Amino acid sequence: MKIGFSKTGLTINSKKFHPLNLAVKGYGLESNLEDLETDPFELLEKLAKAKDAEMTKEQKVNILKDIL
């Protein structure tokens, strides 16, 4: 996975990241709402917290819910 930054926000694999349009293994969520203003540094900070080995799976899922 390649994470990058642009003037418009966070990019993942060179595609703009939209927190309401997410797909994993063929299952996904889509939204026709306007793009939300996202702070890429805030997203990375939250993802970094989820990497902590001492956190439970429930805590990690809660972090991902918070991002979405």
CA atoms within 13 A on the CB side of 49: 13
Task: Give the start-to-end residue ranges of the domains of the chain.
Answer: 3-67
Q: Report residue 62 CA to chain centroid gap.
A: 12
If 0-12 CB within 10 Å is exposed, 13-18 middle and 19+ buried, where does residue 67 land?
Answer: middle
Enumerate residues 6+ apart whose C-beta is below 8 A from 8.
16
Q: What is the mean pLDDT of each run of 10 residues along the chain (68 residues)?
A: 75 73 72 70 83 84 81
pLDDT at position 30 is: 66
pLDDT at position 19 is: 63
